[in-house]
Amino acid sequence: MDSETPTIHFDELLERLLDAIERSDVGKCMEVLRAADVEDTAKLVDRLSADKRTKLFEILTPEQSAEVLEHVYYFQGADIIEELEPDAAAQIVTQLDSDDRADLLNELKDNDSEAILDELEDDVAEETRRFMAYEEGTAGSLMYSEFVSFHMRMTVEEILNDIQSKRDKYIEYGVQYAYVLSARKELKGVLPVRNLLFAKRDQTAADIMIPNPTTVSAGTTVLELENLFEQYNFLGLPVVDAKHRLIGIVDREASTEALQEAATEDLLKFQGLMGKEELRSMPLALRSRRRLSWLSINIVLNLISASVIAFHQDTLEAVIALAVFLPIISDMSGCSGNQAVAVSMRELSLDLISPKEFGRVFVKESTLGMINGACLGLLIGTLAWIWKGNAILGLVVGGALALNTTIAVCVGGLVPLLLKAFKQDPALASGPILTTVTDMCGFLLILGLASMCLPYLV
């Protein structure tokens, strides 16, 4: 009876890894890292102190270090590489695939990445700089250059001989398709490896290829890539330049991951983490500085809102019940505004709207805001009336919420477009602008209306 391989607990793996690092046992380090699941590799590296992590990558060979880096996140890899000398880092970076190399170096500060690039071989450095220059979220930033290609006039026998002679290299590529090129490196077709099995030895690549394959340019966006992958169920797409020369391949997995990373980045920005990854293994001072840079700005914005309350202090003291409704109006309006922000952000990312459609978005959101505002205002106004037995109080509270909801929805829908028009990041600034406006307007509306109706409230 076959016995199942026992599962090693994460804590035990970490203990073994720490022990191996302490003893500088390279073989044991790699044994532990390879025994871990892919997801656990990043977790193991994250649990190491900075000193242990540096020692680990100092005792590993460049090839082993690259193998580990392939299973951690880019921002983790950047922290590791930054701790090494440029020449040692360059030896590791050289072992990475072209796309991983560019992504990793793009995570570094400019002076650090340049120091490493200067240590690379000229052709590798040139290719890496070219890949790093492509705009984030495009096929150029996701593609890799490790692909197999053959001249269209090569015979099947010549192709098979080439595959056999470069067997170890092609195995690393995980080849399922080869690409057929002209003498000018123009892409002519795609050659499934299985086609070679049934072809005659004297047939050429042009005879057995799939001609006129679907291609993309380096500037094709991730959303466009995903649409193509969904439509045709491709595993990968060839990337060509203006002269239809093959410059790289982008696969479906990279495209999907890029979309997920973009969504995560937007969430971080919206939560005030400035779009930068943060891990609890990072230095405490760095984490504190990143968060405080955002929170200190919010202090100023909140003081603006608080000044409205201070200005109407007499009204608030006269009708203390208003204090109960201030956070309710602020919070409910903020929630409505955040919904509008989310819709605008989504439509901007899908290219369904542009900053030029300001008027259209205003009409759509203001109409929705008035309907939802009226419903919410009626509900909270009725509750205020029942609670205090004062219909005027209900009218003030309900009217303030109805008006503030309309304002919040309009601001939430329009601010991302406005920021986009001024080439600013909507995800980073929409949240605090919305919060400040909804708080200030909410407090101003309820306290202003209450001041006007003060004789009927006391």
* Confidence category of residue 242, pLDDT binned at 50, 70, 90: very high
Other C-beta atoms lying within 10 Å of the C-beta of residue 108: 20
Tell me what the mean pLDDT of segment 143-172 comes to: 90
Other C-beta atoms lying within 10 Å of the C-beta of residue 86: 18
- Tell me the C-alpha distance between 105 and 91, whole Å: 13
* Confidence category of residue 316, pLDDT binned at 50, 70, 90: confident
- For 192, residues 6+ apart whose C-beta sits below 8 A from its C-beta are 176, 177, 210
Main-chain phi, psi angles of 193, to 5 degrees? -60, -30
Tell me what the mean pLDDT of segment 424-451 comes to: 84
Beta bridge partners of 138: 221
Q: Which of 79-83, 188-192, 261-265: highest mean pLDDT?
A: 188-192
Domain with CATH 1.10.357.20 in the chain: 284-456
Q: What share of the chain is helix, strand, coil (3-state, %, to 5)?
A: 70, 10, 25
CB 428 within 8 A of CB 454: no
Go through 320-353 and write b for each residue having 16 or more CB atoms within 10 A of its CB, e for each that does not: eebeebbebbbebbbebbbbbbbbbbebbbeeeb
Query: SS3 for 30?
Result: helix
Given a cut of 90, whether residue 123 has pLDDT beyond it is yes
Domain with CATH 1.25.60.10 in the chain: 10-133
Domain with CATH 3.10.580.10 in the chain: 149-268
Tell me what the mean pLDDT of segment 92-102 comes to: 92
CB 431 within 8 A of CB 411: no
Range in 168-182, 239-253, 358-372, 389-403 the model is least confident about: 168-182
Q: What is the pLDDT of residue 293?
A: 65
The class (CATH top level) of 284-456 is mainly alpha
- Tell me the C-alpha distance between 59 and 225, whole Å: 40
Q: What is the pLDDT of residue 349?
A: 73
Given a cut of 90, whether residue 305 has pLDDT beyond it is no
CB 180 within 8 A of CB 188: yes
Q: What is the pLDDT of residue 151?
A: 95
Quickly name the fold that domain 10-133 has: MgtE N-terminal fold (1.25.60)
- What's the CATH number for 149-268? 3.10.580.10
Pairing of strands 210-211, 216-217: unpaired
Query: SS3 for 255?
Result: helix
Q: Which residue has the higher pLDDT, 308 or 321?
A: 321
Range in 63-72, 75-84, 240-249 the model is least confident about: 75-84
Q: What is the pTM of this model?
A: 0.63
**What Å distances lie between residue 303 and 95, 300, 315, CA to CA?**
53, 5, 19
- Tell me the C-alpha distance between 321 and 377, whole Å: 17
Query: SS3 for 387?
Result: helix
Amino acid at 447: L
Range in 85-94, 343-352, 431-440, 443-452 the model is least confident about: 343-352
Main-chain phi, psi angles of 187, to 5 degrees? -75, 120
Given a cut of 50, whether residue 6 has pLDDT beyond it is no
Q: Which two tokens stand for residue 434?
A: 């919305």
Amino acid at 333: S
**What Å distances lie between residue 446 and 44, 332, 370, 378, CA to CA?**
53, 14, 17, 15
* Confidence category of residue 11, pLDDT binned at 50, 70, 90: confident
Mean pLDDT score of the chain, rounded to an integer? 86
Q: What is the pLDDT of residue 119?
A: 94
∠62-65-67 over CA atoms, to 5°? 110
Identify the sign of the CA torsion 193, 194, 195, 201. positive
* Confidence category of residue 5, pLDDT binned at 50, 70, 90: very low
- Per-residue pLDDT reduced to its tens digit, 30-71: 999 988 887 788 888 888 888 898 899 999 999 999 999 988
- For 458, residues 6+ apart whose C-beta sits below 8 A from its C-beta are 318, 319
